Amino acid sequence: MIDKNARVLLIYTGGTIGMVENLETGALEAFNFSHLKSNVPEMRRLHFNVDAYLFDPPFDSSEVGPRKWQDIARVVEENYDGYDGFVILHGTDTMAYTASVMSLMFENLTKPIIFTGSQLPIGKLRTDGKENLITALEIAADKDKDGRPVVPELCIYMQNLLMRGNRTTKVNSENFSAFNSPNYPYLAEAGVGIRYHDKFILQPDYSKPVVINSRLDNNVAVLKLFPGIQEHVVKSLLSVPGLRGVVLETYGLGNAPTDRWFIDALQEAIDKGIVIVNVTQCLYGSVEMHRYETGQHLEKLGVVSGHDITTEAALAKLMILQGNGRSPDQVRELMTVSLRGELTER
């Protein structure tokens, strides 16, 4: 049920969806998004209010980082009380990172924040941008019979699928189906109508306010294992000055080499207070370090199981927890707990 009095704030950060082709050079350039409704005339048929906030200049998603995440969160925070929902247009390349970080910034979120974008510019004839934009706006304005948002979560909507933001990863650089949620069901599927899967949608405590905390500490790194990885590569990464957290991408169920130099390097890092979180390189499935001896070695060292969390969400969670002054022991404990539905607890 879409309330005709609903107000949605459309936030344009940049990305392919806001590009047009320069007819002389063939290059993609940002167009004046203040003329959005003339470029997407279908928006005139929406029966609710849509206002726009434009980042000027817009930024490519490959340039995103802590400062820009904080800027986006600040726009939502400053307008939170004035709108029923938010749609954020963002480049697809790092959308899963941004969605993961921002989902952890907002505690007890009571309104929808929907990220979307496109693989083709909105000015292209075959663009996927128009459908993504229109449906994202409708989801942001949709309410249940009690007048509450149907999806009070931070999500990504792309190509007919609504996914929890901190569960998504980009899986395709060319197809319109660019994102997937490997280890958590879709929150909604759009066809002739929008079919919501209510039992998978997080519900806030409406008696309590939303808490927004955008402090971040990005002294983190990703160490992806591969057969033949050299000792000096591992040790040089783990000895980066100021490093506080590492996402260790392991094989299968969380397995890793048992070479003495490797075990010693991890132990030395953990003894220095660096939190090491084990995530699987597999797109689907979960870390279960107790299953094999190679994983048990990591567990005994104090490597933390990331369960089925994505690399994007694991990085985001480390940044948020460290930014809030948590001790290494507290970070280790909270990395195994679901804060915003980002992992499945065992």
The bridge status of strand 106-107 relative to strand 220-224 is unpaired
- Extract the tokens encoding 278: 């084990």
The rounded distance, in Å, linking the Cα atoms of 115 and 270 is 36
- Extract the tokens encoding 299: 């567990």
- Helix/strand/coil for 142: strand
> Is residue 305 a contact partner of residue 289, using CB atoms and an 8 Å limit?
yes
Instruction: Return the half-sphere exposure (C-beta side, CA atoms, 13 A cut-off) of residue 85.
Output: 30
Q: Which of 16, 116, 135, 168 is catalytic?
A: 16
- Extract the tokens encoding 306: 């990331």
Q: Which residues of 246-274 are buried (b: 16+ CB within 10 A; e: fewer)?
A: bbbbbbbbbbbbeeeebbebbeebbeeeb
Q: Is 16 annotated as catalytic? A: yes
DSSP 65-82: -HHHHHHHHHHHHHHGGG
Phi-psi region of 193 (alpha: psi -120 to 50; beta: other; left: phi over 0): beta
Q: Which residues are catalytic?
A: 16
